[in-house]
Structure 1
Amino acid sequence: MSDVFLTIGEMAKRSGLTAKMIRHYESLGLLPPAHRSDAGYRHYQEQDIRQLRFIRQARELGFSLPQIGELLSLWHDEQRSSSKVKQLALEHITILDQKIAELMQMKAGLEKLASQCHGDDNPDCPILDELSCCHSAATTE
């Protein structure tokens, strides 16, 4: 164990995360509990930066917090099978593909509405008409 301890502020700078997110990840168990000084301040170790960077990069790829927990477990398990890691990645790709399809559908719907709107000084607006129509239908069901 290293004798060099880092403050949460230093961890934030070096990991690219906010102190609030570091505390959040620690509360979720994604980061081991920090050592505490006699005054109660959190003190982290150098290896905690690697773990926080791992978490940040996994979040940037869109992995959920439970998925990140699984990935961290696999990362720390030197007896792991890379097939499990690949399986998690492929499952996540499927989820991303579904989200992309949903976003493309939303985009197409909005493009259609935007093409129907004249965008002039006239108060008539097919976009607002459609939004108000759908909202009313949803509340009456």
Structure 2
Amino acid sequence: MSSAVETSQLLRVGDLARLTGKTVRAIHLYEELGLLQPATRSSGGFRLYGASAVERVRWIDLLHGAGFSLHEMSELLRSWWSADLGPEAMERLRALFEKKLAETRAALDRFRRLEGELEQGLAYLETCRACATPEAPVKACARCGQDHGMAGEPALVAGITATPERGRRGARGPFVRLEELDKTPTGGIEA
């Protein structure tokens, strides 16, 4: 195959960006981080990429969607290519994937808890519509006596409606008046 034909099958950076939905700057950043390398340069000095570059950008997108940072991807590639033997490279990759899977599962647990908190907050707020009138001051919400059908305010609602007067739990509680901060021995920071 002649070099003219080979060059015609290569992609300039703008073409690679369009094919992958990325910006030219993103492609350059991937190159700076060692995630992507041009196959060659044109006689005019333009970066030229082969078909494997499209696959690499898709791989970057896939890992990004899985929660990997660009730095982690760069480290993953360095780890892979610095291994002397295939089994060693596979073991390094396996360890990185296991770590990311554990992080992903922990994040899912946090999101499930947040989902429950949001559902409770929405259910609680839905009962507020009965007493909501255009002229009701927001301060009234902090002293609400309405039965919301729950043992107490969900944490996401309680955090908003809590006032120092309502939520004060003594000197070591979370609510301290600003004027009292200067009276503490540590200048407002409790030990």
- TM-score higher than 0.5: yes
Matched with 2:99 is: 91
- 1:1-141 matched pairs, under 5 angstroms: 2-3=6-7, 4-32=9-37, 35-37=40-42, 41-73=46-78, 74=80, 79-81=85-87, 82-117=90-125, 118=127, 120=129, 122=132, 130-131=159-160, 133=162
Report 1 or 2 for greater relative contact order, CA contacts < 8 Å, sequence distance ≥ 6.
Answer: 1
RMSD in angstroms over aligned alpha carbons?
3.5
User: What count of residue pairs does the alignment treat as equivalent?
Assistant: 138
Report the TM-score, using the length of structure 1 for normalisation.
0.71
Contact 1:16 1:53 in 2 (8 A): no
Q: Distance in 1 between matches of 2:42 and 2:105?
A: 46
Report the TM-score, using the length of structure 2 for normalisation.
0.56
Contact 2:121 2:157 in 1 (8 A): no
Q: CA deviation at 1:90?
A: 0.7
Q: Distance in 1 between matches of 2:58 and 2:82?
A: 14
Question: Aligned pair in 2 of structure 1 residues 17, 70: CA closer, same or farther (>3 Å)?
Answer: same
Percent identity over the alignment is: 24
Task: Report the AA paired with residue 91 of structure 2.
Answer: S
Q: CA deviation at 1:16?
A: 4.1
Q: CA deviation at 1:6?
A: 1.0
Q: Between 94-103 and 112-121, report the one with greater CA deviation.
A: 112-121
Structure whose CA Rg is larger: 2
Q: CA deviation at 1:47?
A: 2.7
Q: Distance in 1 between matches of 2:128 and 2:47?
A: 55
Q: Between 28-37 and 16-25, report the one with greater CA deviation.
A: 28-37
Q: CA deviation at 1:22?
A: 1.4
Gaps of 5+ in 2: 142-152, 164-173, 179-188
SS in structure 1 of the partner of residue 86 of structure 2? coil
